[in-house]
Amino acid sequence: MIRSFPALLCVLLFCGCQTTIERHGKTARHKELYVVIDDAGLALAEVRQFLDIPVPMTIAVLPHQKETKKVCSLIRNDGAKEVILHQPMEAYDRQKNPGFGAIHSTTRPDEVARILRQNLDSVQGAVGMNNHMGSRITENPKLMREVLQYCKDNDLFFLDSKTAYNSQVPLVALKQHMHVEERHLFLDVRHDREWVRRMWGRAVAHARINGYAVVIGHAWCKETAAAIRDSYQTLENQGYTFHKLSELYE
Ligand SMILES: [Zn+2]
């Protein structure tokens, strides 16, 4: 996979009422949906409801949880889906426990690689990672430098879930000549049907206007699965396409 930074530089081309993204001679992006399902690994049934939807998606799995290994194996056996590590990181709100395998603000930079290696041993087949919680860590350039360097050295992509207002990830990535992407929308900050469907509508609009949308939902949210399941065929008929996140980094 190539992650050269110039791929980030985009030119907007307006043709009629459609907006398309041209990326340095690469194929233009047009109505592309990149759905990432976070917090997998706690229950098989949660993940199955997304595996049953026959479109490409990326599933972010928590390390060292009860069903981590089985969930990874199910996803790997589904050609339309891919696994990434959902890397636990400390949040500003110390009441929130990021769980096993977390990077904390007290973690020494030279411990980060060991933590990531152990987590990737648990989340087998991961092709990249994103942060679980992590507002306190993604604002910490010293720790994020270690995380991104590990990704670069091990041919893994990094998605900034953007849980921090002042995330340092874009700046650190720029200094390390790495291509990173960030989440555009969360689907299920609230879990009710009306909210999730409204956010899914916004995600689709984002893809129409900007060429693509990176959208995060959660494995534990039935309404997220329902919103995607009920609309994917109509969206495909309208020219939208679903993709694994790794395709954004090619
Ligand atoms: Zn999470």
pLDDT tens digits, 106-147 = 999 999 999 999 999 999 999 999 999 999 999 999 999 999
Burial of 63-81, coded b for 16+ CB within 10 Å and e otherwise, reads: bbbebbeebbebbeebeeb
Q: Scanning the structure block, which residue is given the tokens 């495909």?
A: 236
Region 34-249: CATH code: 3.20.20.370
Distance 163 CA to ligand 1 centre (A): 10
Distance 14 CA to ligand 1 centre (A): 36
Distance 38 CA to ligand 1 centre (A): 5
What pLDDT was estimated at residue 4? 42
What pLDDT was estimated at residue 27? 62
Distance 168 CA to ligand 1 centre (A): 19
d(CA 211, CA 205): 10
Distance 213 CA to ligand 1 centre (A): 19
Task: Please report, for the chain, the start and end positions of each structural domain, with discontinuous segments joined by +.
Answer: 34-249
What pLDDT was estimated at residue 22? 45
What pLDDT was estimated at residue 26? 54
Distance 20 CA to ligand 1 centre (A): 31
d(CA 82, CA 56): 8
Distance 159 CA to ligand 1 centre (A): 12
Phi, psi of 168 (to 5 degrees): -90, 0
Distance 119 CA to ligand 1 centre (A): 15
Distance 60 CA to ligand 1 centre (A): 8
Distance 133 CA to ligand 1 centre (A): 6
Degrees (nearest 5) of the Cα angle 178, 184, 186? Answer: 125
Distance 27 CA to ligand 1 centre (A): 31
Distance 219 CA to ligand 1 centre (A): 9
Question: Beta strands 26-29 and 185-186: pairing type?
Answer: unpaired
Distance 83 CA to ligand 1 centre (A): 14
How does pLDDT run across 55-111, given as a tens digit for each residue? Answer: 999 999 999 999 999 999 999 999 999 999 999 999 999 899 999 999 999 999 999
Distance 25 CA to ligand 1 centre (A): 35
d(CA 99, CA 27): 40
How does pLDDT run across 1-50, given as a tens digit for each residue? Answer: 444 444 333 333 333 333 344 444 456 899 999 999 999 999 999 999 99
CA-CA distances (angstroms) from residue 248 to 8, 25, 76? 10, 15, 19
